[in-house]
């Protein structure tokens, strides 16, 4: 999911259309990321997520009774499951100001190698003594 406004991330999980969805985990990303590039998504989670501020758990939300992780007694009583949904906000913090050392950006420049360079290094691992 992409965010456009400060404070959007908690609203996403609380929205009725998402709470009926069959998912227990959500990751919010900046709009410039390629949504299906898992390399970029993992990089965003690893380097933009501030654990105490950006990981939110929404306990006891409505879930699916088909989930094998739901206790059988709960399924019989409620006909629904109860899930704890997790939101990971992997966006750059909105409150950061642009900085000169970041080239005028509101976040540090990316140090992620281009895919071509990563592939080139992987192809030469034996040469480097890495098997």
pLDDT digits (tens, 9 = 90+) for 65-89: 777 777 777 766 666 777 788 888 8
27 contacts 88 by C-beta, under 8 angstroms: yes
Residue at token pair 């290094």: 121
Distance CA 22, CA 114 (A): 34
Fold of 8-93: UbiD C-terminal domain-like (3.40.1670)
Domain residue spans of the chain: 8-93
Query: pLDDT value at position 10?
Result: 60
pLDDT in tens, 8-48: 666 665 565 455 555 777 777 777 766 678 888 888 899 88
Q: CA 118, 26, 82 angle in degrees (round to 5)?
A: 140
pLDDT in tens, 85-108: 888 888 888 888 999 999 898 888
């Amino acid at each position: 999911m992409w965010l456009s406004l400060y404070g959007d991330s908690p609203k996403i999980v609380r929205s009725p259309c998402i709470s009926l969805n069959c998912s227990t985990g959500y990751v919010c990303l900046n709009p410039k990321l390629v949504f299906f590039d898992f390399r970029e998504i993992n990089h965003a989670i690893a380097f933009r997520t501030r654990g105490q501020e950006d990981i939110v758990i929404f306990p006891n939300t409505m879930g699916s009774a088909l989930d094998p992780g739901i206790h059988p007694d709960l399924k019989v009583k409620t006909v629904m499951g109860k899930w704890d949904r997790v939101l990971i906000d992997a966006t750059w913090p909105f409150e950061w100001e642009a900085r000169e050392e970041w080239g005028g950006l509101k976040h540090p420049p990316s140090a992620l190698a281009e895919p071509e360079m990563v592939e080139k290094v992987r192809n030469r691992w034996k040469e480097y003594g890495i098997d």
